[in-house]
Amino acid sequence: MPRPQSYNAFLQKTRPSHHSVSLLRFAAVFFVAFCLLQWIYQALNDTASYRFYIETLTVRPSAALINLIAPSEGVIAQAHRLVWQSGRLSVLNGCDGAEAMALLSAAFIAVTGSIRMRLTGIAIGVVLIYGLNQGRIVALYFAARHDKPLFELIHGLAGPLAIIALACLFFVWWIGRDGPEASA
């Protein structure tokens, strides 16, 4: 008959590993950080800061990019809309890349590592997501203008999924680029 193990041996075998505790800590901090960032984002909705972000930092550059690519399109930025001769495209809450930025920022807040590594990751990641979202808005314009079914695919699935997937890849690359000492 096997000898019963001591209570200490039992605890050692059943205690969560450092890895699972770290994962639980990451998940909890990520969840709280994401909720807080989303709450702040929603609180800023319909404020001068939000309108500046949408109208000046998102819609105007999109119109400029579209006109750079296809000058004959004649797209203008009007508040939160891209407007052309035969239509318009509204860039509203949820179309601005802010949720992907919040997801990536929450991940960097939750990961262990130096403050410098995390803040630099957030800054570069936000710029990356901003650029990707500008590309998405430009693609949405051309799809809305020339291929409605493609618009729906880019708007509802492919665009957001691509941005989040690329943000996740950036996050994994950024935290792993210096090896184990990056998380010291």
d(CA 78, CA 7): 70
Cα distances from 136 to residues 67, 79, 161, in angstroms, run 15, 19, 11
Q: What are 39-63's pLDDT values in tens digits? A: 999 999 889 999 999 999 999 999 9
Q: What's the chain's Rg over C-alpha atoms?
A: 22
Mean pLDDT of the chain: 89
Model pLDDT, residue 159: 94
**pTM passes above 0.75:** yes
The mean pLDDT value for 62-71 works out to 96
Model pLDDT, residue 68: 96
Model pLDDT, residue 15: 58
Model pLDDT, residue 2: 62
Pair 63, 81: CB distance under 8 Å: no
- For residue 3, pLDDT over 80 is answered with no
Backbone φ and ψ of 68, nearest 5° = -70, -40
pLDDT band at 1 (very low <50, low <70, confident <90, very high): low
The percentage of residues in the chain with a pLDDT greater than 70, rounded to a whole number, is 85
The mean pLDDT value for 110-119 works out to 93
The more confidently predicted of residues 176 and 108 is 108
The mean pLDDT value for 117-139 works out to 97
The mean pLDDT value for 8-18 works out to 58
Model pLDDT, residue 180: 46
Model pLDDT, residue 166: 97
Single-letter amino acid, residue 115: I
- Which H or E element spans position 148? helix 148-153
Q: What are 135-183's pLDDT values in tens digits? A: 999 999 999 999 999 999 999 899 999 999 999 999 999 998 864 444 4
The dihedral sign for the CA sequence 147, 149, 153, 156: positive
The percentage of residues in the chain with a pLDDT greater than 90, rounded to a whole number, is 75
Q: At what angle do helices 159-176 and 115-146 cross, to 10 degrees?
A: 160
